[in-house]
Amino acid sequence: MEEKKINFSIADGVEFFAHEATINFNPTQFIMDFKCITPRSDPRNQSGPTIALKHNIVMLDAYHTKMLHDLLGDVIKRYEKEFGKIKKPDQIKKAEKNRSPIIKDKATVPSYFG
């Protein structure tokens, strides 16, 4: 039997730091929306600061979402075994403590709008 070569072309994704994530679902899939929020300052812009918002969306079927959940759990356990328990940063605790009493959702990431 003749041996055939297969060539792969792999397009690397752009690195992305997610400041926020939103996860929703419908009957057939989970939709994970990872957001990167970056304040931009340009002295030429007279209307004020600009906020740059980028999204990366990942959609998985329910089974693969469950597998991702299990994988993340395993990786977090290994991480904590090697580096110690993951704790909420003191800066986030302070921001939550100083938040307006009108805002009741403690899980919300501090606002980039001041």
Which residue range forms the structural domain that includes residue 72?
A: 62-100
How sure is the predictor about 100, in pLDDT bands with cuts at 50, 70 and 90?
low
Positive/negative CA dihedral, 80, 82, 83, 84: positive
Higher pLDDT, 105 or 113: 105
- 75 in the same domain as 55: no
For residue 38, the domain's CATH number is 3.30.1040
Higher pLDDT, 70 or 40: 70
Q: Is 60 helix (H, G, I), strand (E, B) or coil?
A: strand
Token readout for 79 is 């991480």
- pLDDT > 80? residue 73: yes
